[in-house]
Amino acid sequence: MLGLGTIARAAAELRCDVRSAHERDPAASGVGTAEILTTWPGVQALLAHRISHRLHRHGVPLLPRLVAHVSRMLTGIEIHPAAQIGRALFIDHGSGVVIGETAVIGDDVTIYQGVTLGGTGFQTGKRHPTVGNCVTIGSGAKLLGPITVGCNAKIGANSVVINDVPDNTTVVGNPGHPVRVEGRKVEGPDADWIHLPDPIADAMAALGRRVVELETQVRALGGTPSPGDELDESVAEVHVLRPKQGRSPAGG
C-alpha cells in the first residue's frame, strides 16, 4: 500500500497544493513552502484527507474517520474520508468548511471559509454536490443536495444553492440565482427574483375592475341601490404587495 510510487505521488500532490496556495492566496506571496505546510490549514486538511481517503478506499476500519476527526480539530475543516477531491483544490482560511460523504470536487477549485457541501436532509445515496473544474465558492456559501455546479462557475459569498448551476455562471443570494452567464449580466423577466409576475393578484384586480364596471352600468341603467348603499370603487381595489423601491435583486 505504501510503495515508492505512492510516496512520489503524495510528494507531487503536496507540491501542487503549495503551488495552489501561492497562486490563489495573495497572503502567500513570498511565503516559503515550509511555512505554508505548517501554517495553512487548507493545505493541511487536504493532506489529511488524502491519507484518510486512501485508508477508506482500502477498507481500513476506524482510522480514516480518526484521521479526519483529528484534522478537523486542528484545521476546523471537516472532510468526509469518502469525499472525492480532484487536483489542486485550494481551501482558503478553511474554518467551518464541511465537505460531505458523497461530494465530488473537480480540479482547480477554490473554496473559502464556512462553505458547506452538504445534504438537504436524511436522504441516502448520492446526496451531496458535484462541483466541476475551476469553480470558486465564496465564504459561507451553502451548496445543498446532489446538485451539479458546472465548470468555471462562481458562487457568491453566503449564497444558498439548491439547484444545478450551469458552466460559466455566477450565482448569488438565497435562493442562489444566476447574475452572470458567460460573463454577461442576466437580462429578462427571469433575472428579477422579487418583481415576479403575480397571476392571482392580477386576476383579482381584473375581477375588481369588472365589478366596478358592472356597478357603473347598473347605476347608468337606473338600478336602485339599497338605501345607504354608496358605491365605493375603492372596495374593489387590489393592493399588490410589491416593493416599490430599492435595487433590483437581479443585481444581488
Ligand X SMILES: CC(C)(COP(=O)(O)OP(=O)(O)OC[C@H]1O[C@@H](n2cnc3c(N)ncnc32)[C@H](O)[C@@H]1OP(=O)(O)O)[C@@H](O)C(=O)NCCC(=O)NCCS
How does strand 177-181 pair with strand 184-185? antiparallel
Q: How far is the CB of 160 from ligand X (least distance, A)?
A: 11
Contact call for residue 175 and ligand X (CB under 6 A): no
**Does 238 participate in binding ligand X (rule CB under 6 A)?**
no
Q: Which pairing describes strands 177-181 and 154-155: parallel, antiparallel, or unpaired?
A: unpaired
Angle at the Cα of 47 (from 161 to 79), degrees rounded to 5?
35
* Rounded least distance, CB 180 to ligand X, Å: 5
CB 31 within 8 Å of CB 52 = no
Q: Are strands 84-85 and 104-105 parallel, antiparallel or unpaired?
A: parallel
Q: Is residue 95 within the footprint of ligand X (CB under 6 A)? A: no
Stretch that binds ligand X, among 59-67, 117-125, 165-173, 234-242 (CB under 6 A): 165-173
Show the site string, 114-153: x = touches ligand X by CB under 6 A, - = not: ----------------------x-xx--------------
What is d(CA 92, CA 142) in angstroms, rounded to the nearest whole number?
A: 16
- H helix runs in the chain, sequence order: 4-24, 33-39, 41-57, 63-75, 199-220
Question: Is residue 180 involved in binding ligand X (CB under 6 A)?
Answer: yes
- How many residues form the binding site for ligand X (CB under 6 A)? 17
Residue 145 beta carbon to ligand X: minimum distance, rounded to whole angstroms: 20
Residue least distant from ligand X (Cβ): 251
12, amino acid identity: A
Q: In terms of CB distance, is 225 or 251 closer to ligand X? A: 251
Q: 59 is written with which cell numbers?
A: 477498507
Residues 6+ apart with CB under 8 A from 75: 41, 42, 44, 45, 48, 94, 95
Q: Which stretch binds ligand X (CB under 6 A): 14-22, 173-181, 200-208, 214-222?
A: 173-181
Helix (H, G, I), strand (E, B) or coil at 169: strand
Which one, 24 or 209, has the nearer CB to ligand X?
Answer: 24
Q: Between 103 and 250, whose beta carbon lies closer to ligand X?
A: 250
d(CA 21, CA 39): 12
Looking at the DSSP bridge assignments, the partners of residue 161 are 143
If the CB atoms of residues 223 and 243 are measured against ligand X, the closer one turns out to be 243
Are 75 and 42 a contacting pair, CB within 8 Å? yes
Given 157, 160, 162, 238, the residue binding ligand X (CB under 6 A): 157
> Which member of 185, 195, 210, 242 binds ligand X (CB under 6 A)?
185
Q: Interface with ligand X includes 252 (CB under 6 A)? A: yes
Q: Which is nearer to ligand X, 52 or 170 (CB)?
A: 170
**Which positions touch ligand X (CB under 6 A)?**
93, 112, 136, 138-139, 154, 156-158, 170, 172-173, 179-180, 185, 251-252
